Structures are given as structure tokens and as C-alpha cells.
Amino acid sequence: MACPGDKGQVCGGSNRINLFTRPQYRYLGCYSDSTTGRTLRNRHSITNEAAVMTIDLCRTACRNDG
């Protein structure tokens, strides 16, 4: 799926996540994810996440959990 801010980049998709680091939010790549082998260990429970997820909401949830 193309990124809204840069159509030349891919932003996630089904069972995919993009990773960045702080403080400059350096792009680390696109990684596969599955329900049986999670890429990230911590689960962030967000009500109705499939319908309401945004980059800011994802970033805030990750930042709050460390």
C-alpha cells in the first residue's frame, strides 16, 4: 500500500509493519508479521483498531509502552 505522504514508498499493508527509530525516526524496513509469530512482543489493545488506526495513534501507543 502506498504511503499517503510519499507514493514512492510502501507503508505497511496486511500483516506488515514499518519500523522507525527515535529521535530522527530512521526507517528500518518492512517486516512480515503473523498471528503465530509476532514481530513486536508487546500487544497494544486499541478499541476498533482496524477502523481507527493512524500513524500518530500507533506511534503514541508504542511510545507510551516504551
The SS3 of residue 58 is helix
pLDDT digits (tens, 9 = 90+) for 3-36: 777 777 777 666 777 766 666 666 767 767 777 8
Confidence band for 66, pLDDT divided at 50, 70 and 90:
low
CA angle 18–3–17, rounded 5-degree value: 15
pLDDT score, position 24: 63
- What is the distance, to the nearest Å, from the Cα of residue 5 to the centroid of all Cα atoms in its chain? 15
Return the HEC string of 29-55: EEEECCCCCCCCCCCCCCCCHHHHCCH
pLDDT of residue 7: 77
What is the per-residue pLDDT across 30-56, written as a single tens digit (0 to 9) for each?
767 777 877 776 676 777 777 887 888
